[in-house]
Amino acid sequence: MIEQRDALLSGLANIANLVSDRPMGKAEMVDEAELLPRTLPIQAHLNALEPDILLITGGRGAGKSHLFRLINLPQGPQILGYRGRAANAWWLPGFTTHRTTSGFNFPGETILQRFAAGKSRTDLMDFWRGLLMVSIISQDTPAAELLHQQLPTALLRALSSPEKVSDWHAEVVRHLESVETALNQLDSWLVAQQHYLFATYDDLDVMAVEWDEKRSLIQALLQFWLGQWRRWQRLRPKIFLRRDLFAPEFLNFPDASKLTGHQFDMTWTPVQLYQLVFKLWANQGEVCLSFLQNAGLRFEKNQHLGWIYVTPWPQEDDLRKVVEHMMGQFMGAGPTKGRTFEWPPNHLQDANREIVPRSMLNLFALAARYEQERPGSTDLLLSPTSFAAAIKQVSELRIKELVEEEYPWLTALRVPLDGQQVPMQRQQLLEILQSIDWEAMEHRPPSSDPDKLLEHLLELGILRRTQDQRLHVPDIYLYGFNLKRKGGIRRPTAVGR
């Protein structure tokens, strides 16, 4: 194994597509040709494709955008192995910030920000009604042909320019009865054909600049589809939404509680995360594949997905053997340091006990990089020292991606939290939150009230309450905020530092 060490570590370092210590493995950054080989088609996640699921929620990095892109590929659900009730379906993007395969762009965030400002809920529901027609008529399907036959020429002409929202929105309102009739007839035709048509929605958290407009647009989208749920049988949505946006302040409309019955929450178990790590590693070359096969895993070649597990897939005992083959049984001289198999999940979970795959991939990739910089001193591929160094960088990357992609206001916490010790008293954190001038920030949190903001941080899993009601921060965020833990030990120098 020592002779193959460099190839094995290089392969493992590549599973996260890290460039200059920045994670480039986000679904929206992965080329379409690489998307399927970087996919693990977990059957539990494919339940989200069932017709009765309207809303797919999850945290940042949980794989929502990855799944969104996959199901919009030609024959995407079939390639993933989906064989459910919606196997016979057309899948098309109802909204995304990226260019569609049909060659058009949906309206950008500045356009939508200005359009949505001051609009009524009814106006915004008509916006989503019109955008649905834009999505359908842009595809080369019988459904598009049917709408072309049913809709007025003036409306079709306006809908051919999706970014000119004000123009086509006015036409939708003007021809509302024709629009409703055409969509009803389309659904009846789909019923007769025993065919589904799914409009899929992603990037809703970045479709407008300000919170108020984002909130209004999301409320209108959800209310529009709930209103059509009983009317249409085969025309269905798949709405991918950040979990924290699925909150009471975003669902302030009639029948919002009914959404929970049509929701799928995307989470990952430690077993699924290890399955993902080793599947991606196996596809990094013959040396990596042979190492995993010799450790007991069985693979077969798939035309689209690359090397994939032979059924039945490996479970905890099989995966534990591989981990121990790589790095031994314990994170040190004995069990007091913790077992190697449990160490990554325990240190990557947030306060809600959730782990996102991006962090798991980053941890193994960075640990491999650390090992590449030091000579192999044992027969083990990875050392506990490499993981102790990597976890700090993974935490920093997690904070960085949340600040840059999702919650820019978190950056205001960095200075006042730097060097603070946790767990801390609630009042101490409230005083820190109170000291920040939120009004001076370009991007503000949903509320600047310290009590509400503290609760928001708890909901996000960045904070957790201890049994004595103090506030603690899990490791996945601890090092990124440069917080100190009482009784904590000095971490080794991280990769490249």
pLDDT digits (tens, 9 = 90+) for 257-270: 888 899 999 999 99
pLDDT digits (tens, 9 = 90+) for 446-462: 889 999 999 999 999 99
The domain ranges of the chain are: 5-16+269-401, 27-60+64-265
Task: Please name which of 411, 417, 405 lies closest in space to residue 478, comparing C-alpha atoms.
Answer: 417
User: Per-residue confidence at 255, pLDDT binned at 50, 70, 90?
Assistant: confident
The predicted pLDDT at position 492 comes to: 45
The answer to whether residue 495 scores a pLDDT higher than 50 is no
pLDDT value, residue 112: 95
- The model's pTM: 0.91
Lowest mean pLDDT among 124-133, 300-309, 333-342, 473-482: 333-342
- The string of pLDDT tens digits covering residues 276-325 is 999 999 999 999 999 999 999 999 999 999 999 999 999 999 999 999 99
Cβ–Cβ under 8 Å, residues 356 and 62? yes
Give residue-wise pLDDT tens across range 364-414.
999 999 999 887 656 789 988 899 899 999 999 999 988 877 788 999 999
3-state secondary structure the chain: CCCCHHHHHHHHHHHHCEECCEECCCHHHCCHHHHCCCCCCCHHHHHHHCCCCCEEEECCCCCHHHHHHHHCCCCHHHHCCCCCCCCCEEEEEEECCCCCCCCCCCCCHHHHHHHHCCCCHHHHHHHHHHHHHHHHHCCCCHHHHHHHHHCCHHHHHHHCCCCCHHHHHHHHHHCHHHHHHHHHHHHHHHHHHCCEEEEEECCHHHCCCCHHHHHHHHHHHHHHHHHHCCCCCCEEEEEEEEHHHCCHHHCCCCCHHHHHHHEEECCCCHHHHHHHHHHHHHCCCHHHHHHHHHCCCCEEEECCCEEEECCCCCCHHHHHHHHHHHHCCECCCCHHHCECCCHHHHHHCCCCCCCCHHHHHHHHHHHHHHHHCCCCCCCCCCCHHHHHHHHHHHHHHHHHHHHHHCCHHHHHHHHHHCCCEECECHHHHHHHHHHCCHHHCCCCCCCCCHHHHHHHHHHCCCCEECCCCCEECCHHHHCCCCCEECCCCCCCCCCCC
Give the pLDDT confidence score for residue 252 in this predicted structure.
Answer: 76
196-201 and 89-95: which strand pairing?
Answer: parallel
Q: Residue range 141-162: average pLDDT?
A: 94
Mean pLDDT for the stretch of residues 431-439: 94
Write down the pLDDT at residue 368. Answer: 96
pLDDT of residue 86: 93
Q: What is the pLDDT of residue 2?
A: 59
Mean pLDDT of 132-146: 94
pLDDT at position 23: 43
Task: Check residue 361 and give its pLDDT.
Answer: 96
pLDDT average, residue stretch 335-357? 92
What does the pLDDT average to over 235-260?
Answer: 84
Locate 248 and state its tokens.
């009471």
* % residues pLDDT > 90 (the chain): 75
* Mean pLDDT score across all residues of the chain: 90
Answer with the residue of higher pLDDT: 52 or 20.
52
